[in-house]
Amino acid sequence: MTGRPTAIAPVSLLDPARTTFQDMLQGFAVSMRSRGLAASTIEVREWGVRRFQNFAGEYPWTWKPQDIEDYTSSLLSGRRPLAHSTIRGYQHAIKSFCGYLSNPAYDWHEICLERFGEVPTQICHPWNTFAHLAEFEARPTRRPFGYDELEAFFAHADQLAHDLLDSRKKGALPALRDAQFFKTVYAFGLRRREAVMVDLNDLRPNPFMPDWGPYGKVQVRYGKAMKGSPPRRRTVLACPEFAWATEGLKHWVEVVRPRLDPGNHAALWLSERHDRMTTRNVDVRFAKIRTGAGLDPALTLHSLRHSYVTHLIEFGYAERFVQEQVGHHHSSTTAIYTSVSDDYKNRIFQEALTRVLGKEAIA
């Protein structure tokens, strides 16, 4: 024993390609966390990169632009091609990952050149990826409910609950909850996650309508976040046209919900297992009611929010008020959500004729 430190031989990686790819993903996640992106966003982007790598069958230092083109073609060639926005999201995850690897601030260029003799490059370019040309990228079939469709949807939801109550079958209370949940989504123009995350303490009084008690406002604490920022907050006022939903909300909180034995749980909408309802759960229940009512399958839970925007405009509310109610950052987004009826447009046109040309012009 001489007391000298023994030199340690370099560790040989058993699977250098796979290990390097895992290290790349880990570093990519760290960089996104440093930018303040939500954990859910990071998870989705990591999943997107892994999915692409599995499709390509190669690792990032061998990826070529043709790979992203073949991948996009595969996404469009299925029985139900993915939506424009979905594919663009997949492409954006891969573009961000390639940008991270090719950034000279990191040493992936040197590592890959030393280990594999090749280096990662950006494979996503304007000429081979979807461009974000419109704020609203949903399929054209997506639309708000018509008034008759809304009436049919809510009537069927109520009927399901009443049938279960009359027959004394299990599930009556959840059915009552579902009916009021969807009425609340519509009456306050809420997004799906915003609605399921509402707590009892988020219900607030409106001093201008004391008769409504603590159901005159809803404090939204989990609004859609901007990139790298926490969820946005807003307060949504109950409008007189939807007073019927406010009354139903009062009945749910004070009469029905206590029968679910909620204990000290803060959530407004509880599942049968005494925990907060999930977005997946409400999607399934929405689809069941929509199918039972015989409505268009193109109508989604988000269509209730579109209906809210459309109907507020038709009721005569100012566009700025509607924008604040639904939490849109830009007024153009609110305009995209609006799909007013022919009756409304005809009324506005008649008013314009009367104002500009006089009543004789429309006699």
The domains of the chain are located at 16-116, 147-297
Residue type, 124: C
**Cα angle at 164 between 163 and 165, to 5 degrees?**
90
- 150 in helix, strand or coil? helix
307-318 in b/e form (b: 16+ CB < 10 A) is: bbbbbbbbeeee
pLDDT at 152 over 90: yes
- Rounded (10°) angle between helices 172-188 and 243-251: 150
Instruction: Select the more confidently predicted residue: 48 or 341.
Output: 48
pLDDT at 102 over 60: yes
Cα–Cα separations (whole angstroms), residue 144 to 186, 287, 344, 346? 11, 15, 15, 19
pLDDT at 40 over 90: no
- List the CATH code of the domain at 16-116: 1.10.150
Burial environment of residue 18 by CB neighbours within 10 A (0 to 12, 13 to 18, 19 or more)? exposed
- List the CATH code of the domain at 147-297: 1.10.443.10
Phi-psi region of 274 (alpha: psi -120 to 50; beta: other; left: phi over 0): left
- What confidence tens digit (pLDDT) does each residue in 51-92 have? 999 999 999 999 999 999 999 998 888 777 777 778 888 999
pLDDT at 21 over 90: yes
Whole-angstrom distance, CA of residue 158 vs CA of residue 179: 6
Whole-angstrom distance, CA of residue 239 vs CA of residue 324: 13
- What confidence tens digit (pLDDT) does each residue in 279-331 have? 999 999 999 999 999 999 989 999 999 899 888 888 888 888 888 888 877 55
Phi and psi at 199, nearest 5°, equal -105, 165
Instruction: Select the more confidently predicted residue: 301 or 344.
Output: 301
DSSP 8-state assignment for residue 256: I
Q: H-helix or E-strand containing 223?
A: strand 217-223
- What confidence tens digit (pLDDT) does each residue in 167-192 have? 887 889 999 999 999 999 999 999 99
- Cβ atoms of 289 and 153 within 8 Å: the answer is yes
